[in-house]
Amino acid sequence: MHNFDLNKFQIEIQERKKFIDSCLTGCLEQIDAYPVIIHQAMHYAVFNGGKRLRPMLVMEGAVLAGGDREWVIPTACALEMIHSYSLVHDDLPAMDDDDFRRGKPTCHKVFGEDIAILTGDALLTAAFELITHNAGIAPIKAEQVLQVIKEVSKAAGSRGMIGGQVIDLQSEGQKIEFTTLQTLHSLKTGELFRAALRAGAVLGGMNSSGLEKITAYAHSFGLLFQITDDLLDVRGDEGLMGKPVGSDVKNLKTTYPSLIGIERTEEIARKKVDECLSSLEYFGPEADFLRQLAWFTLVRNN
């Protein structure tokens, strides 16, 4: 992948993001539906400048399986809604207590804590309703949708994202082991990435060997994403990131750089890219987007 063209890939990411944003507009309840405030807050939470990586992974999984990204739009949008809900709750005063996300006031700052809590609940609930819509899109079968619901709900729950969040909260102000840090990130960030890529692949009808390979990719990618996130918190550009740099230190969180130093963290990040690439050797050029995504994550600035 020495022919990685950053500018070209950034254009590609932007185009995919635009497509996903238009899909999300179609999948969300109308912004003026009654009661208006909750639907306004849901739109605000979803359209806050997110990268849309999870829906991209759903669509990519379907394409890798020989399917079409159009088939999996409902599930792709559902994964983004779950991610958006987690951020709304993450920002609450009882959690990370953040006033800004991506340069905009957080949901509870705009709509109040009560509506922000309900916004997260509403997005999570709506996501599963949306996944069921995938059963009506040929050639997807109801059993495939059932498997996706099972995997996504596990990834978002107490043995996945919520579990990671709990470990994160309990670890504040404590020095935690390296293995605990990895578990925290695998659960908090990695599980939803894994569920996203697998969901698309399952709906696209991928065989078990292919599923095994993309599962390995998603595991490495989730850790790579979190490691680079930790690095950006130490040396990122506030203007590009849209949130204060150094918030992990402020919240007394153990991060990769604080535990093992910047140099060793960068080494591990490069190793994760290698792991991502080797798990994709099973595939041909159809997996190039995922290969480039790993490189891009290593060099990203927000």
Say yes or no to pLDDT of 1 above 90.
Answer: no
Q: Which tens digit of pLDDT belongs to each residue from 243-289?
A: 565 566 556 678 999 999 999 999 999 999 999 999 999 999 999 99
What residue segments make up the domains of the chain, in order of their start? 6-299
Cross-strand pairs, 105: 100
Secondary structure string (H, E, C) spanning 192-212:
HHHHHHHHHHHHHCCCHHHHH
Percent of the chain past pLDDT 70, that is, above it, reads 94
Dump pLDDT digits (tens) for 157-190.
999 999 999 999 999 888 899 999 999 999 999 9
| Cα–Cα separations (whole angstroms), residue 300 to 21, 116, 273 | 21, 30, 13
Directed axis angle between helix 288-299 and helix 208-235, to 10°?
20
Q: Domain 6-299 belongs to what topology?
A: Farnesyl Diphosphate Synthase (1.10.600)
DSSP states of 135-193 as a string?
GGSTT--HHHHHHHHHHHHHHHSTTTHHHHHHHHHHHTTS---HHHHHHHHIIIIIHHH
Q: Which residue has the higher pLDDT, 235 or 258?
A: 258
Tell me how far CA of residue 98 lies from CA of 43, 84, 103, in angstroms. 19, 15, 11
Task: Kindly state the average pLDDT of the residues 103-131.
Answer: 98
How high does pLDDT run on average in the chain? 93
Instruction: Find how far residue 66's CA is from the centre of its chain.
Output: 23
